[in-house]
Amino acid sequence: MDFVKREKIREDSLYNAFQLVLKSLKEKYDLNTREVIELIAPHDKEAISIPIQVLQNRQLGVLEAVVVYLKDEIGLKYSEIAHALNRDDRTIWNVYNNAKKKTKRKR
């Protein structure tokens, strides 16, 4: 998002109202910003689609490519990825770290 657009949004009354709601929810329920955002706009795991380009990286296996995409691009936690893919958290952590090592080595 460019600077001009960001400033225009910050001047909008809806933005100010959202900031007020955000602050109130954080204080009332002792939440951090990320937790409030997840409540307002949760990741719909059913709606996440994986672009075919993600699988074109021949350095990585399918599971590795999907895990890296979900972690780095979508921003899911290891536990969320594990739940969505019906795998153990430790497996997802291991797959992610192995994929990062592979891509680092090939560069």
Q: Can you give the pTM of this predicted structure?
A: 0.57
Assess contact for 53 and 45: CB atoms under 8 A.
no
* pLDDT (tens place) for every residue of the chain, 107 residues total: 677 888 888 888 888 898 898 899 999 999 988 788 778 776 655 667 888 899 988 899 999 999 999 999 988 999 999 988 999 999 999 999 999 999 887 65
Alpha carbon distance 71, 92 (integer Å): 10
Of residues 75, 74, 56, the one with CA closest to residue 65: 56
Number of H helices, E strands in the chain: 6, 0
Burial of 57 (0-12, 13-18, 19+ CB in 10 A): middle
For the chain, list the domains and their CATH numbers: 3-40 (no CATH), 52-106 (1.10.10)
Predicted confidence (pLDDT) per residue in 60-83, tens digit: 999 999 999 999 998 899 999 998
